[in-house]
Amino acid sequence: MGTAALAGGFGVGASFVTALPGLVVSGVGQGIVWTAMWIAASTGVAPERQGVANGTASMTLNLGNAIGIAVLTVAAGTGTGGPAAVADGGRTAVLLAAAGMAAGLAVSLALRTVRTSPPVRVPDQTPSP
């Protein structure tokens, strides 16, 4: 929602105040989502596998960022038509990003699984005295 609100800030006569609501909503939303992402990545993972889970989540995040930036840059265009073309390209890229996030949310809700048992914990292997 915050990302879509940022689209209003892309215009030849737009000011920072126009983009401010989108920036605030995006900032709060990212803080919530990032925390939940790291919790989800490590929930139910055995202690000795936490590094692998964290590395996998981190690699996925960085790969998605790289691909996403490439796609959005192409969607924004070259901006050779003057300030109005640059603003239109930026607005297109931001709205495409918002649509991608909405699609990702829909897919994740459709594919979510219900945990039926608690995570398996490895018993302490410390020898008794």
8-30 pLDDT tens trace:
888 888 888 888 888 899 899 88
Query: pLDDT-derived band of residue 67, with 50, 70 and 90 as boundaries?
Result: very high
Query: pLDDT-derived band of residue 86, with 50, 70 and 90 as boundaries?
Result: confident
| Mean pLDDT along residues 79-97 | 85
Task: Write down the pLDDT at residue 63.
Answer: 95
Contacts of 77 (CB under 8 A, 6+ apart): 85, 89, 92
Task: Write down the pLDDT at residue 124.
Answer: 66
pTM over 0.75: no
Q: Could you tell me what percent of the chain has a pLDDT over 70?
A: 85
Contacts of 9 (CB under 8 A, 6+ apart): 16, 18, 19, 22
What does the alpha-carbon distance between residue 113 and residue 60 come to, in Å, rounded to a whole number?
20
| Mean pLDDT along residues 103-120 | 71
| Mean pLDDT along residues 30-45 | 87
- Asked if pLDDT for residue 117 goes beyond 60, the answer is no
Task: Write down the pLDDT at residue 84.
Answer: 84
